[in-house]
Structure 1
Amino acid sequence: MQKAIIDCRDLYFTYEEEQEWILNNLSFQAYRGEWIAILGTNGSGKSTLARMLNALLIPTSGTTEVDGLRTDEDDHVWEIRQKAGMVFQNPDHQFVAATVRDDIAFGLENAGIDREEMIERIKAASEQVAIDGHLDAEPHRLSGGQKQRAAIAGILALRPDIMIFDESTSMLDPEGRKEVMKTMNELHERGFTLIMITHDLQEAMQADRVVFMEKGTIVKDLSTEAFFQDPAFLMDRNFHLPYFLEVQAYLNDNKQQAYMLDEDEWVKMLCKLHSTT
């Protein structure tokens, strides 16, 4: 049986002793090469879980292992953060240097990478996310999508196995979101393990698996195809369905028909049905 690359067991977490649990008896595994979308209601603990996965937070009780390394063991923290890179909601909070090139180099310097390899890694990582034409630019002068791709390049240069995206598109305009989602798809095709915290259902539809959180625990953990067969579950929690799924829900109306998650395929199917009537 395949060993989980991320293994969370019986997690409890609170910032203060008398506060209610933010994570409450949560267990979660991710396997190499998976793309997992983590959805949830406000205050469900999604971002707290994300920060558990690269040792930014340590469980109050329970354990988190990343590729066999426990996050609560201080000797492992730097290695874990090289294995599991995180892209945050606001890209401006991730930049520490005057140029994109220097920002990518910053993490490599901290990792003790020698200069020749550093130059090679900066080139490779920036080309992977198509930011190589902006290496001498000041990060704050880039568009939102370019900023996030520059942040992703800084993590890719460290050669991680896992990429964690914590609401990484929520502050971007539609074009920026499109750029970042394209990058995620390309990373997934290259075999990276992706953990994507999101509130956007169309983004979640691109993942292999959807985990839904409420009140600090997981209430659904299904393949993406299976998860979206119950749109009423999402509507009951005030999620706004993508229009094409909303129309399907209206047309299905208890007819027990399977929901299609590819909008283009659904439109083709409708056209075909219409042409035969």
Structure 2
Amino acid sequence: MQPIIDCQNLYFRYREEQDWILQDFHLQLYKGDWLALLGTNGSGKSTFARTLNGLLQPERGTVEVAGYQLDDEESIWTVRQKAGMVFQNPDHQFVAATVRDDIAFGLENAGIPRTEMIERIEESSIRVGIADKLTTEPHRLSGGQKQRAAIAGILALRPDIMIFDEATSMLDPKGRGEVMQTMAELNRAGITIIMITHELEEALQAERIVFMEQGKTVRDQSTHEFFQDPQFLLSRGFYLPYFLDMQVALQEQTGVSLRPLALSEQEWVERLCTSPFKM
């Protein structure tokens, strides 16, 4: 099977006197994958994401997305319709006075006929649950609704890939849940998801995790395998989800291995119900 994303030997820095932000970075993804990209601040996560749609050009290496090499303007324009990006601040993503007009903006730039535009706007807004907000001014939406409106604008272009660059970090728990649910639905529909996040609860929903440090991949594992080593995350300043934290504490206090560690609240509760430990 041909990878939908194939990045080889990427090097990037903003100025020659700087250290590399990406160095010898490799990644392959296939259609329908869901990848969580983790790392401390400055590890190169967002920089890498911006190479996938031509916002940044690597100094060395190759980027191929959906069969297109990002080495000329025509390819970059095509790829931007196939690989959409949702950014951290929802207020920075709107360009029109209403949600309907904002979704239409990308379609107009892509030269989509008006009749088809109307159909796509309705289809994408229904898909993310904002069909009743099409005449609303974007600034009147909640944070979660704003991000879903941004997602609708990308979906209208019918992409194969969606990149979420800390897209939930400015949202309250309700808005975060709305966006994560939308991601899961898109992935079930076959869209490849790249999710940059610092939230381990979110990363648990992905099927694969790449952890970056100093522009390099230091771990590339299935989600289940990655979370079996919580000390790796603790040593890098991450806070574990509480059900993982409880398992680590219980292992330390009793000396009894609980591996494989439970990776959901429900699984942990079920373990406790059949556990020999006195709680």
- State if a TM-score over 0.5 links the two structures: yes
Aligned residue identity for 2:181: K
The offset of 1:272, in angstroms, is 2.7
The offset of 1:252, in angstroms, is 2.4
The Cα offsets for residues 197-231 of structure 1, whole Å up to 9 and x where unpaired, read as 00000000000100000000100000000000000
Match in the other structure for 1:272: 274
Match in the other structure for 2:235: 236
Aligned residue identity for 1:102: D
The offset of 1:156, in angstroms, is 0.1
Aligned residue identity for 1:175: K
**Whole-Å separation in 1 of the counterparts to 2:90 and 2:198:** 18
Match in the other structure for 1:196: 195
- Aligned pair 1:221/2:223, yes or no? no
Give 5+ residue unaligned stretches, structure 2: none
The offset of 1:276, in angstroms, is 11
**Whole-Å separation in 2 of the counterparts to 1:69 and 1:30:** 14
* 1:123-134 equivalences in 2 (<5 Å): 123-134=122-133
The Cα offsets for residues 46-67 of structure 1, whole Å up to 9 and x where unpaired, read as 0001111111111011011001
The offset of 1:260, in angstroms, is 1.0
The offset of 1:72, in angstroms, is 2.2
Match in the other structure for 1:262: 264
Match in the other structure for 2:66: 67
Match in the other structure for 1:120: 119
**Whole-Å separation in 2 of the counterparts to 1:43 and 1:126:** 35
Secondary structure at the residue paired with 2:240?
A: coil
> How high is the TM-score relative to the length of structure 1?
0.97
Match in the other structure for 1:155: 154
**Whole-Å separation in 2 of the counterparts to 1:27 and 1:181:** 26
Aligned residue identity for 1:216: G
Whether contact under 8 Å (2:130, 2:149) holds in the other structure is: yes
Match in the other structure for 1:180: 179
Whether contact under 8 Å (2:10, 2:26) holds in the other structure is: yes
Give 5+ residue unaligned stretches, structure 1: none
Match in the other structure for 1:138: 137
**Whole-Å separation in 1 of the counterparts to 2:262 and 2:51:** 34
Aligned residue identity for 1:109: E
> How high is the TM-score relative to the length of structure 2?
0.96
Task: Report which stretch shifted further, 12-21 or 266-275.
Answer: 266-275
* 1:75-114 equivalences in 2 (<5 Å): 75-114=74-113
Task: Report the aligned-residue RMSD.
Answer: 1.4
The Cα offsets for residues 67-110 of structure 1, whole Å up to 9 and x where unpaired, read as 11111222201110000000000011110000000000000000
**Whole-Å separation in 2 of the counterparts to 1:104 and 1:71:** 25
**Whole-Å separation in 2 of the counterparts to 1:134 and 1:220:** 41
Whether contact under 8 Å (2:243, 2:264) holds in the other structure is: no
Secondary structure at the residue paired with 2:15?
A: coil
**Whole-Å separation in 2 of the counterparts to 1:208 and 1:244:** 19
Between the two proteins, what is the percent identity of the paired residues? 64
Structure 1 segments of 4+ aligned residues over 3 angstroms from their partners: 253-256, 274-277
Secondary structure at the residue paired with 2:272?
A: helix
**Whole-Å separation in 2 of the counterparts to 1:53 and 1:263:** 34
